[in-house]
Amino acid sequence: MKFIVSSSVLLKELNSIAGVLNTSNTLPILENFLFHIKKKELSVSASDLESTMSTTIALDKSDKDGIIAIPAKLLLDTLKTFPEQPLTFVIDSENFGIELVTDNGKYKLAGQNGEEFPKTPKLESPAKVALGADVLFSAVNKTLFATGSDELRPVMSGIFFEINKDNVTFVATDAHKLVRYRRNDAKSAKAASFILPKKPATILKGLLSGSEGDVVIEYTDTNAHFSFGHVTLVSRLVDGKYPNYDAVIPKENPNKVTVDRNSMLASIKRVSIFSNKTTHQVRLSFVGNEMQVNAEDLDFSNEANERLQCNHDGEDIEIGFNSRFLIEMLTNIESENIVLEMSASNRAGILTPSEGNDANEDLLMLVMPVMLNN
């Protein structure tokens, strides 16, 4: 079997799917890319058993169809050193030996039987929804940081997709913070929900960054299939029931504070340097239209205090938060001002953008308070 492909095109496509590869695998075959040549088209796949990514490349020349598994790291490292040129792959289908021929050299590497590569799961009569690449990127980007990493609660380790006939909602939580991102410009006739694991969500975020066009999502109870351009990602879904996220969002919040997002973010970053290194606690006090940001580390007699102007509607209130959670949330909101809603110092605070949001976009972030040591 023999085919010719551009070195830079091959490297670009391999890099787009290489994120799925693991450094250590239970099956040695997973350390390879699977090359599948069919009718002058090369399809390349990479898998970690949970997720499989594939991409297709049109070939200038190929003599016959076939499949071969090629060592991923060795091939990537070699391609990175080549200038743009046509590469000829000559494959011995008897012993799976691979010869790579360039303008100025020959390279030999040992492949493996492509038939041993795990088969990509086929989806039986899946439901389907199409989302703009920018919409899906935004949804994953704004929720991914709030996913949990507790192995005992796997349902919280992914992003919850809730698709219905009016909108699509994306939720992530680790029980300390929660993000709900809703789009009213995407819908499906058939209501469904699934939990996408963190790793494929991270790959998706990288793949869709700065992209245009539509992503077609097909899903069943066990797998989701994302198609974008000529790249596909198939992922096994997290099994289990997602917590009732709506029940933890407090509906009555008489205290509303509107504040400049960048000023609050900069203030918390500075003040949190002086906070306790275990709790990362910052204390927010609201008196009239003034917000005080305070942190202290009693073990080292460190303390910081800053004042900010804000619009405060409600009674005076003092509340403590983990500064790292607040920093993550404020970084992931894009509006100039944010609204912080609170009901009591022992109830969750809610952050929302105050303006400049797309009319089709609804973003809500919830953060649990920490006990203040008065």
| More confident position, 127 or 45 | 45
Q: What is the pLDDT of residue 194?
A: 95
Mean pLDDT of 9-32: 92
The model's confidence at residue 61, banded by pLDDT at 50, 70 and 90, is: confident
The proportion of the chain whose per-residue pLDDT surpasses 70, expressed as a percent, equals 99
| Tens-place pLDDT, residues 300-314 | 999 999 999 999 999
Tens of pLDDT, residue by residue over 134-146, are 999 999 999 999 9
Rg (CA), the chain: 25
Judge contact between 268 and 340, C-beta under 8 A: no
Q: How far is CA 140 from CA 127, 258, 298, in A?
A: 20, 26, 39
pLDDT of residue 144: 96
pLDDT for the residue 357 = 62
328 burial class (0-12, 13-18, 19+ CB within 10 angstroms)? Answer: middle
The CATH superfamily of 127-244 is: DNA Polymerase III, subunit A, domain 2 (3.10.150.10)
pLDDT of residue 259 exceeding 80, the answer is: yes
Topology given in CATH for the domain delimited by 249-367:
DNA Polymerase III; Chain A, domain 2 (3.10.150)
Q: pLDDT band for 374, please (50, 70, 90 cuts).
A: low
Residue among 281, 352, 284 nearest 316 (CA): 284
Angle at 68 between CA 63 and CA 69, to 5 degrees: 150
> In the prediction, which pLDDT does 356 show?
62
- The predicted-structure confidence for 201-223, as pLDDT tens digits, reads as follows 999 999 998 788 999 999 999 99
Q: Check: CATH 3.10.150.10 for 2-116?
A: yes
Give the pLDDT mean for 53-79: 93
> Start-end ranges of CATH 3.10.150.10 in the chain?
2-116, 127-244, 249-367
Nearest Cα to Cα of residue 370 among 276, 264, 257, 305: 276
pLDDT value for 80: 95
